[in-house]
Amino acid sequence: MNPPNTEAIAELYATLLERKQADPGKSYVASLYAKGADAILKKIGEEAAETIIAAKGSDKTALVHELADLWFHTLVLMAAYDIPLDALTAELARRSGRSGLDEKASRSKD
């Protein structure tokens, strides 16, 4: 198995940030930003549902396609809220090596 191409994600994220300045009539991502958070959240919901449906099937290629769509739109959301990619990777690194149950129990209750 090849090592993951994390540069592709960083490059995509940089492009998503650049699209904040783009013309919404010429850029899909810029059009999502122009429509606001609700449009981005709706798209994430749609992609999450499509990912679930694909996961219930046997076509791994379709599942990868839907996962890529879901990740893409999640990165759009991060960029919309100016959350640096490093914030996500730092949080994942912080959780590394911890039991998921322990990590969940350590979260503060709202």
Number of structural domains (the chain) is 1
The CATH number that applies at residue 18 is 1.10.287.1080
Q: Look up the domain containing 53 and give its range.
A: 8-84
The per-residue pLDDT for range 8-25, each reduced to its tens digit, is 999 999 999 999 999 999
Query: pTM for the complete prediction?
Result: 0.85
Asked if residue 69 is part of any domain, the answer here is yes
Question: Confidence class of residue 78 from pLDDT cuts 50, 70 and 90?
Answer: very high
pLDDT at 100: 67
Name the token pair of 102: 């322990």
DSSP 8-76: HHHHHHHHHHHGGGS-TTT-HHHHHHHH-HHHHHHHHHHHHHHHHHHHHSS-HHHHHHHHHHHHHHHHH
Question: 25-50, pLDDT tens digit by residue?
Answer: 999 999 999 999 999 999 999 999 99
Averaged pLDDT, 69-86: 98
Residues 6+ apart with CB under 8 A from 65: 54
